[in-house]
Amino acid sequence: MKLLRFFGVSCATCLLMMSNPLWATAMNPFAKTSTLPYELPDFEKIKDADFMPAFKTGMKKQLKEVDQIATQTSSPTFDNTVVALERSGDMLQRVSSVFFNLVVSDGNPARQKIEASISPLLSAHQDAIHLNPALFSRIEALYKQRDALGLDSESQQLLSRTYIEFVRSGARLTGPEKKRLKEINEKLSKATTQFRLNVLKASQADALVVSDKKWLSGLSDAEISAAESSAKARGLSGKYVLALQNTSTQPLLAKLSDRGLREKLYLASINRNASGPYDNRTLVVEIMQLRNQRAQLLGYTTPADEVLSDASAKTPQAVNEMLSQITPLAVHAARQEGAALQALIHEQATQGLGADFKLEPWDWDFYADQILVKQYAVDPNQVKPYFELNRVLADGVFYAAQQLFGLTFKERKDLKAYRTDVQVYEVFDADGSGLGLFLFDPFAREYKQGGAWMNTFVDQSNLLKTRPVVVNNLNIPNPGKGKPVLLTFDEVTTLFHEFGHGLHGLLSNVKYASLSGAHVPPDFGEYPSQYNEMWARDPMVVSHFARHYQTNEALPKELLSKVIRAQKFNQGFATTSYVAAAALDQAWHQLPASKLPTPAGVMDFEQSVLKQAGFGYAPVTVRYRSPYFLHIFSNGYSASYYAYLWSEVLARDTGDWLNKRGGLNRENGDVLRAKILSRGRSEEPNALFESFYGAPPDGEALLEYRGLK
């Protein structure tokens, strides 16, 4: 028998080495910087068993580095304290960026178990840094003399942001108060992680199982195939599984002809996590109690006050004012749309084409699509063949970026992502230099979080000499090998939206990683993504990508005009559903702990809030109900779900700015890049926008865009 060898060492020796912790650390794929282009993680070498050791070693190493910074005998300087802190924790950063990307986009039970274990440890690790009195003493001393240090503007910003971060994390608290804060943070970490895992598990467990294909009338062959594949993956051969997306209303409600099945799908969606083994109501109350305790410990009245003090909005009052201005306009428009849908139901009943019934939430999308066909002459199924995924990406999304910024994209099949169906592109600047990598993960799958998002595997930093590695995730049903992936116009828009986030990461050009790319408040972070949506309907861009996947025929201009005109239809519904969720978020986070409901009263509280805020129109459902509202109870948007609307004001003003200056051209792109996209948070968001736009945002363009003016 041949003796197994490892790098020329006999297997017996190898086993001894593997038992040595120092050897195990050295062999961990996160121990050193990846040697792949742009430091792309070497996914082929990474195993689930590597994560926990890398996390523990990475935390230990960073705490040692922090202790050296805090206890050094040299007087504090910007370089030996703030920059040194910025450089610390490289191994922990590497493992964190990979793990937390994978756990949401390519999760599995092993990774979920690791997440539940590591989250409270990471919370305690951050507390150990932020609550280190010797370290904060050095940072505070520098901050007090910041104007005399002669720092450049970005370094001045890093010093200010570091000081603010420490203060907001409790650095000024007394010893007993710090101990209490650590306890709160640990409990919050566990609760918010469990909330996310419960939503994922409930979305899987509560997916609708259909036993007979005939009930799926209205779905395309690709959608039926996806439902069949999903059932087979669960061991349910011969059946069909309709997966649940994050939102309250489900995309398939627009297509299913059987009203009874629509109702079942809708109820399965909205009742998630409100009962059974994955009931999140207790966690909702626990999270809000802990956030209130934390806010008050840090000197804030409510969690909303704490969060918004460091956002563009600054105060809960500013958010409430914006929502109260939009709400009546949105609800009025939704009621008008609902009346049209009810009239269509009645009309079809009088023609013997169906029953006459009261419009319900599970009917809205189904009849709204019929209005599109009848009133706007737009059939979504007529348009989809012109929107093939790869062509939209290459000839639409990438084309717009090339026209605006001079970027070019080359698929790198030699570079492997974490799955074979994830594409890797190298991005080149106008001068031909390598800018970064873009990973594209478009398909829905089991254990993948719903929705669409951007993240980074590597942040841009001139200090660390790193270039960005960005990923976009979507949740498009995979029709199967060899079949075309055809998009709805909404999915096309989402693709442009997420790539706007991607550009924010790719075009970053700052010195410090913590200020780079999309590391900005949520109410500014959604801004670049929302103005990038405009290219999805720009005639020049559309003419470049919208071609029939079989005939290569261009999308007729008349049909494009109808599609664009129809975008203002149903905006009452869309805006009302969104603003209701933003109002619900604020209600939870502006509520004192003494007034929190019991777990059994969570849903009653939700309904009371929505009714009082003016959302008492039953056919329109809030976009997320509390027990599965991931954004605010797990994903970092607590008291910040309003951000999409706040950012959209900036985005629509920017759209007007672009259109007045010729739209898609390099001159406009150079200004956007120089003043917004390259800057990260090297300056505060409000100042960045006003420097670019020349004035504060006014909101009129938003109302016009949504057809609410």
Residue 226 has what pLDDT?
A: 87
Residue 80 has what pLDDT?
A: 98
Residue 181 has what pLDDT?
A: 97
Average confidence (pLDDT) over 604-614: 96
498: annotated active-site residue: yes
Whether residue 13 has pLDDT greater than 60: no
Percent of the chain with pLDDT over 90: 87
Domains of the chain and any CATH numbers: 5-172 (1.10.1370.40), 206-272 (no CATH), 278-376+571-641 (1.10.1370.10), 385-567+645-705 (1.10.1370.40)
Quickly state the pLDDT bin for 375 (edges 50, 70, 90): confident
Residue 18 has what pLDDT?
A: 36
Whether 680 contacts 503, CB under 8 Å: no
Whether residue 15 has pLDDT greater than 60: no
Tokens of 294: 């934390």
Residue 376 has what pLDDT?
A: 87
Helix axes 133-144, 153-168, angle to 10 degrees: 140
Whether residue 10 has pLDDT greater than 50: no
Q: Using one digit for the tens of pLDDT, what is the confidence trace for 461-499?
A: 999 999 999 999 999 988 888 899 999 999 999 999 999
Tokens of 168: 């907001």
Question: Reduced to 3 states, what is the DSSP secondary structure of residue 516?
Answer: coil
Active-site entry in 498, 533, 606, 648: 498
Quickly state the pLDDT bin for 708 (edges 50, 70, 90): confident
Whether residue 601 has pLDDT greater than 60: yes
pTM here is 0.91
Residue 24 has what pLDDT?
A: 53
If one counts every other C-beta atom within 10 angstroms of the C-beta of residue 285, the result is: 22
Any idea which of 22-26, 335-339, 587-591, 700-704 has the lowest mean pLDDT? 22-26
Q: Which residue has the higher pLDDT, 379 or 580?
A: 580
Q: Using one digit for the tens of pLDDT, what is the confidence trace for 246-266?
A: 899 999 999 999 999 999 999
The chain-wide mean pLDDT, for the chain, equals 94
Whether residue 16 has pLDDT greater than 50: no
Q: Which residue has the higher pLDDT, 14 or 369?
A: 369
Percent of the chain with pLDDT over 70: 96
> Long-range contacts for 135-140 (Cβ within 8 Å, ≥24 apart)?
135/66, 135/69, 135/70, 135/81, 135/85, 136/166, 136/171, 136/172, 138/69, 138/70, 138/76, 138/81, 139/76, 139/81, 139/82, 139/163, 139/166, 140/171
Average confidence (pLDDT) over 97-104: 97
